[in-house]
Amino acid sequence: MAAMQLHWDIFCRVIDNYGDIGVCWRLARQLAAEHGRAVRLWVDELESLKPLCPSIDVSLGSQSWQGVEIRLWDEIMVVDRVADVVIEAFACELPEEYLDAMSQLPTKPCWINLEYLSAEAWTDDCHGVASPHPALPLVKYFFFPGFSAKSGGLLRENGLFARRDQVFAADSPSQSLHVSLFCYDTAPVKALLEAFRESPLPLVCHVPPGKPLAAVAAHLGGSGPWQLGQALIQPIPFTPIDDFDQLLWHCDINFVRGEDSFIRAQWAGKPFVWQVYQQDDGAHLIKLEAFLQRYSEGLDETTKTAIRRLFVAWNMGGNVASAWQGYVENRQTIARHNRDWAERLVERPDLATALVNFCAAKV
């Protein structure tokens, strides 16, 4: 069993919102369901997992759901078993007692630092690089999700495209343009809503609770729904992780943020606008530029300009209304590009499979 690396531990600290825990929860489930691994997900904040997986009980320190053992990672941690593969998600730093237990094993576990997703070229060179621990007989490997053949790939479950295409085939044509708005509170929401107000097309904007709805309510007042010209701004309930894809598939344009929803929007094959998680040193703008260059490669200049203008305006400010108009006018071409983009990405191994293969080679 050890050679199979049956037991996996994933450690996750919730930094902000649902991105970190969303990625870890998807990965844990896929490793269990598709690769037969016994997975424990250690998370320091069960309250952030609850909206994504409503069936869990936040009062329990240990429970199992969808084939994954969920453990509360708190200050009092008893190391009852060290896994064959240990994933430190997003440099969360393993607890000292767990590191000590790892170091004492005759056969050391495969230790992975799962990094944040980036399209920057340097991540390809750092993917899979070994980093020996300065004091313990342990080696950590950096694993970078990404868009290139040199990267660790993207999270994608088996059968995802088939389920998506079934929904597309069953969808009835709508006279309205449907938009989902999932953003941080730093987004220029006011400017976007005013652009919606001037929409020549009937438009329905679906706004989930939390920061998106708070930003909308701060501008429009009340609790909604709101009618702005031909645009209906419609609050919606929080969408659990298993239903989020459905929202993206049913909408014509999706505003997404961070990492998890960003990946799911690309698999949806629909036009999307990405808000990068803001960093004080401006590193997020470098990530945005790297993605735009990779994503827009081969596009005609008109479509490329329409995409870039809205992405930049949404992340940096600017004339959101004009950028939105240009994006909508080119949405059919953008939609075709996004389907082609998703089909190219799916030719590469998904993240879970790439991790399994990478770790097996380290035995």
- 197-219 pLDDT, tens per residue? 999 999 999 999 999 999 999 99
pTM: 0.94
318 pLDDT band (50/70/90 cuts)?
confident
Q: Are 146 and 118 in contact (CB under 8 A)?
A: yes
Q: Are 354 and 294 in contact (CB under 8 A)?
A: no
Domain presence at residue 2: no
Among 9, 20, 84, 260, the active-site one is 20
CATH number for the domain spanning 309: value is 3.40.50.2000
Could you list the residue range(s) of the whole structural domain that residue 93 is in?
7-155+349-360
Among 9, 245, 252, 259, the active-site one is 259
| Residue 20 designated active-site | yes
Domain presence at residue 229: yes
230 in the same domain as 212: yes
| Residue 75 designated active-site | no
229 in the same domain as 90: no
175 in the same domain as 106: no
222 in the same domain as 130: no
Least confident of 100-104, 278-282, 292-296, 350-354: 278-282
**pLDDT, position 3:** 53
**pLDDT, position 2:** 41
114 pLDDT band (50/70/90 cuts)?
very high
**pLDDT, position 19:** 82
Q: Are 85 and 3 in contact (CB under 8 A)?
A: no
184 in the same domain as 123: no
Domain presence at residue 1: no
302 in the same domain as 177: yes
The number of folded domains in the chain is 2
pLDDT at 8 over 70: yes
325 in the same domain as 244: yes
